[in-house]
Amino acid sequence: MTTKAVSRRWTLKVLTCGAVAGAGLVAFGQELDRARDLVGRVQEDLRRAVDFTRNNEKERVRYENTQHHLSEFDRQLRRDHFDKGKLDQAIDDLKHVVQNNTLEPHDRDALAADLSDLRTLRDVR
């Protein structure tokens, strides 16, 4: 094989690896964007559900903990870091909201679906 042929093959390999790596980065970026969209939806559902809470301090604390951990997870996503530990905390907090807080039926359904989606996000990552 000539030097020219070897050089062409090497160049082709480098370009192919670069294209594959670039596609991986784009897919990773899209995955993070979808995760951030999900976090935003969950936070909006929590804001809507908290309006139903009257003067129950324990229920408000559960909402606040969930919002806080979702916010921490989102902050890491913004820095291109998928922090499963922070996501697990948010999932546990949301589970406690769904199981223990007084909710309207449509809010409970929305938050239960959010909980399922967050678990799926964690499991496929």
Each residue's pLDDT tens digit, 13-51? 655 554 444 444 344 458 899 999 999 999 999 999 988
Distance CA(69)–CA(125), nearest Å, equals: 18
* Contact (CB, 8 A) for 117 and 97: no
Proportion of the chain above pLDDT 90, given as a percent: 68
pLDDT at 4 (0 to 100) = 63
pLDDT at 6 (0 to 100) = 55
For residue 72, give the nearest of 125, 20, 36 by alpha carbon.
36
Q: Can you give the pTM of this predicted structure? A: 0.76
pLDDT at 55 (0 to 100) = 73
Residues in the chain: 125
pLDDT at 51 (0 to 100) = 80
pLDDT at 41 (0 to 100) = 98
* Contact (CB, 8 A) for 60 and 46: no
